[in-house]
Structure 1
C-alpha cells in the first residue's frame, strides 16, 4: 500500500462544509460507540446497520448527507477501538485496557470508493455526497495520474493547523532494489546522540522541540493573554494566536518525521542487517526528568520507519531486548555496573575502554546475530524435513552476513 497526500485548495465556504463532514463522521462514530455500550453481544454488522438507521432518523437530518460508505468507515473506526479493548483484555495486559472513549476533536473523515470524483488529469477532486462540498484543487509533489481509480481504496480528508489535506490509499506493491554487501550493524538509541552504531559512528540528535522552546513559550503566552475566561465564543484574536501556536507544533512534528524517515532510509540502504533495542517508550517517559527529551527524540517513529524500509528492501531488521546492553562488556562479556551519568565504559576485567553507547551497540549487534543464527539453524532443520524452500533460501542469504561477521571477529 502507498499513501499519497495532497493539499486541498478551495474557498472558505468549502472548508466550512468539510468541517461539517468531519463532525458528522464523529457523530456516527460516537453513536455506534453508545450503541455498543447500551447493548450486549454487539458485532460489527450491527454497527453497520445502525448507520442506515441514523440516516433515516428525522432527528439527525445531517447524518443522511454523508456518503453511505463514509458512514460505514466511521462505524469501522468505532469497531476498531472496541476490538483493541477486547484484545487487551484477552492478553491481560497490565494497567488500563484502553476502554473506548467518545471523540470530541476528530480531525478526519474517510471515504471508500464512492462519494468523490477525480478529474481525468488527477489535479482536482469533487465530493458528490449530500454536503456538496464542490471541487477542490489537489496540490501535491506526487502525481496520481500513474494510478487508476480502481487502485485507490480509500480517500481521507484530514484537517490540520495549516489547512485541509486529502490522503489517497493506493493499492500498489512497492519494492526497492538492494545491493547486498554483507554489512551488519547494531544501533543504540540515545539522547546525547540520536543513535550510535556498532562501528562507532554517531548521528546527532536534532532536538527540534528544545530549539523551538523559546518560540513556543512566546506563542503560548500570547494565547493565554487573549483568552477570556468564561467567554463563549472567544475573540478572533484568540483564535489567530491559537492557530499560530498549533502551526509551530505542526512544524516540529514534521521536522521529527522528516529526520526519522531520512535517517532510517539511509541506515537500511547501507546495511544488510540492522539490530536495535526493543525499548518500551511508554515506561521510559514515566521518568519526568527525561520525558520531554525522550519524546523529542521520537525513537518509536524511527523504529517504525526502520521496519518499513527493511521490508521494502528485503533485509532483516531485528529488535532485541535491551537488558544489560549498557552494563555488559562487549569485549569479554563481564558485567560492569555504571550509572546513567557515566558515559565511558571501562572494563576492570579485560581493560576494554569505549564510549558507553558504542559498547551497548556492539552488545545489541551480538544479541541480534545470536537470534538470527538460531532462526537460520531452525529453518535449515525444518527444510531437511520437507520445509518451505523459499523460506530456507531467505534464511541462507541472511546467513551470509552472520558468517562474514563471525569471520571478522575471529581475525580481530
Structure 2
C-alpha cells in the first residue's frame, strides 16, 4: 500500500467542516468502545457487530448521519483494531499492560473508503460529497497521483496537523523495485554517540534533532502560559509550539528514510540489532536521547527499502556483542564509558565497530545453520573450515565449502 500526501487549501468554513467530521469520527469510535464494554460476554461482539452498530448510530444522531456511511464504518474499525489488539496481547500473554481500549479525546483524522469523495479530472482537486459541507478543496503537492487509476485508491484520509490540513491517499500498489549500486555485506550497531557504526568502520553522525531544537521548544512552551486563557494569542502560541515539535518529527523521519535507503542500495546483506526500544526507554536517564535517535523508525525503513532493492535484512540478538571480541571470540568486559575495545589477541577497535562486526558474524552463523537445516551443506573433506570472518564474503565462503576431496 502506497500513501501519497497532499496539503489542502480551502476556506475557513471548509476547515470547520473537516473539524466537525473529525469530531464525529471520534464520537463513533468512543461509542463503539462503550458498546463493547457494556455488552454481555455471551454476545461476542466482533467487527461485524460494530459495523452494524454504526448504522444504528446514524439513525439515532443527525450529525452522524451527515457523515459518509463508509467513513462511519472506518471509525468503528478503529475501535475494533484497539479491541483486537487487546485480545491478541491477552492470548499471547504479553508481559506488562495489555492495552485495554480507552476513549479517545485527541482524534485528528477522518477516513473515507471508496465513496464520499470524487477527484477532479485534473486530480488537483477533490470534492467530498457527504453532508458535512466540506465540498471541493485544492490539493497542493508534487506527488504524481494522476499516474494511478482512481480504482486503485482504497482510502482517502483527512488529517489535521499543526501546520494545516492534509489529504492522504492509500493506493493499492507495490513499490517499484530498483537495482543496487553494490553488493556489500554490513552489520549495523546503533547507538547514541553515533547514529550507527557499521562493520566497515564507518560512523554515521547522530543529528540530535530534538536536542538542537530543545531551547527553542522550551521557550515556545513558556510563552503559552504567559497568554490569557481563551484568547487568540494563547491559541497562536500553542500552534507555534506544536509546529516546532512537528518539524523535529519530520526531520527524524526524513533522516531515517534517507540513511536506510542508502544502506540498502549499497548492500546485499544488512544485519542489525533486534532491540526492544520500549523496554530501553524505561531508563529515565537515556529515554530522551533514545527517542530522539529513532531506532525503531530506522529499522522500519530498512525493512521497507530491503524489499525495494532486494536486500536481505537480518535482525540478531544483540546480547554480548559489545563485550565479545570480533577477532578471537574472547569476552572482554567493559563499562559504557569505555569506548575502545582492546583484547589480548591484539585486536583494538572502536567499541561500536567491534559490536557491528560481531553482529555481522552472528548473521553468518544464522545463514550457515539455515543451510545445514535445509540439507544444502556439503562435506568438506579437505579439512577447510567454513570461515565466518569479515574478510570473506558469503560467495567466497560458499566457494570454499564446495571444494571436494580428490578421493
Give the C-alpha shift of residue 195 in structure 1: 0.3
> What TM-score results when the alignment is normalised by the length of structure 2?
0.91
CA distance in 2, matches of 1:347, 1:201: 21
1:52-91 mapped onto 2 (5 Å cutoff): 52-57=55-60, 60-91=61-92
CA distance in 2, matches of 1:62, 1:401: 64
Q: For residue 179 of structure 1, give the secondary structure of its aligned residue in structure 2.
A: coil
Structure 2 unaligned spans of 5+: 378-391, 401-407
CA distance in 2, matches of 1:167, 1:72: 18
40, 45, 48: which is aligned to 1:42?
45
| Contact 1:184–1:405 under 8 Å retained in 2 | no
CA distance in 2, matches of 1:283, 1:309: 26
CA distance in 2, matches of 1:162, 1:237: 16
1:69-148 mapped onto 2 (5 Å cutoff): 69-148=70-149
1:8-407 mapped onto 2 (5 Å cutoff): 8-39=8-39, 40=41, 41-57=44-60, 60-179=61-180, 181-228=182-229, 234-348=230-344, 350-380=345-375, 402-404=394-396
| Contact 2:177–2:307 under 8 Å retained in 1 | no
CA distance in 1, matches of 2:18, 2:31: 20
Give the C-alpha shift of residue 278 in structure 1: 0.6
Q: For residue 136 of structure 1, give the secondary structure of its aligned residue in structure 2.
A: strand
CA RMSD of the aligned region, Å?
1.6
CA distance in 2, matches of 1:103, 1:292: 25
Give the C-alpha shift of residue 141 in structure 1: 1.2
Give the C-alpha shift of residue 204 in structure 1: 0.3
Pair 1:344–1:98, CA change in 2 (3 A): same
How many residues were matched structurally? 383
> For residues 85-129 of structure 1, what are the alpha-carbon distances to aligned partners after superposition, in whole Å with 9 as ceiling and x for unaligned?
000001101100000111000011110000001000100000000
Structure 1 unaligned spans of 5+: 229-233, 383-399
CA distance in 1, matches of 2:180, 2:397: 17
CA distance in 2, matches of 1:407, 1:328: 28
CA distance in 2, matches of 1:145, 1:257: 26
| Contact 1:187–1:361 under 8 Å retained in 2 | yes
Q: For residue 13 of structure 2, give the secondary structure of its aligned residue in structure 1.
A: helix
Give the C-alpha shift of residue 406 in structure 1: 7.7
CA distance in 2, matches of 1:346, 1:227: 60
| Contact 2:181–2:265 under 8 Å retained in 1 | no
Give the C-alpha shift of residue 373 in structure 1: 2.2
Q: Which residue of 1 aligns with 2:389?
A: none
Pair 1:245–1:123, CA change in 2 (3 A): same
CA distance in 2, matches of 1:113, 1:264: 33
